[in-house]
């Protein structure tokens, strides 16, 4: 564990950002998440960064500073409730996935357009 401000260059360097393939920024504070994402992108231009957007309006703010993907937890939880209810009502997995994929693309303004969940 490394203790410190994750937006600080020295903290990200100690964590090995330049060798990292992925970075998950899960802090719910937009200011901190933006700072971490911006610094990480500058230090490691190729790293894949996924961030948490506490509010729907934060999605684009995080993408603008370099996030590859952004997840809004309350929206995603709601999607899983919808998936559960539709499947229990007999809606096929294919149709359910299609509905959720379209809603996700609309919500994230096409940020997650290629994100598809499949039933195992």
Could you please report the per-residue DSSP string of 99-117?
HHHHHHHHHTTTTTTT---
Checking if the pLDDT of 7 tops 60, the result is yes
Q: Which residues lie across from 52 on neighbouring strands?
A: 71
Q: In sequence order, what are the residues at sequence separation of 6 or more whose Cβ sits closer than 8 angstroms to the Cβ of residue 3?
A: none
Number of C-beta neighbours around residue 64 at 10 A: 11
Model confidence pLDDT, tens digit, residues 29-68: 999 999 999 999 999 999 999 999 998 889 889 999 999 9
Q: What are the structure tokens assigned to 61, written together? A: 């703010």
Reported pTM: 0.78
Model confidence pLDDT, tens digit, residues 84-119: 999 999 999 999 999 999 998 888 865 444 444 433
Q: In sequence order, what are the residues at sequence separation of 6 or more whose Cβ sits closer than 8 angstroms to the Cβ of residue 65?
A: 34, 37, 38, 41
């Amino acid at each position: 564990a490394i203790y410190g401000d994750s937006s600080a260059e020295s903290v990200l360097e100690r964590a090995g950002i330049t060798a990292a393939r992925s970075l998950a920024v899960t802090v719910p504070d937009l200011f901190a998440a933006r700072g971490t994402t911006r610094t990480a992108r500058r230090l490691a231009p190729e790293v894949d960064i996924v961030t948490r957007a506490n509010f729907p309006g934060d999605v684009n703010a995080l993408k603008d500073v370099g996030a590859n993907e952004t997840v809004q937890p309350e929206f995603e939880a709601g999607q899983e409730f919808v998936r559960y209810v539709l499947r229990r009502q007999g809606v096929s997995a294919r149709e359910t996935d299609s509905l959720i994929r379209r809603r996700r693309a609309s919500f994230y303004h096409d940020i997650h357009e290629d994100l598809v969940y499949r039933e195992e």
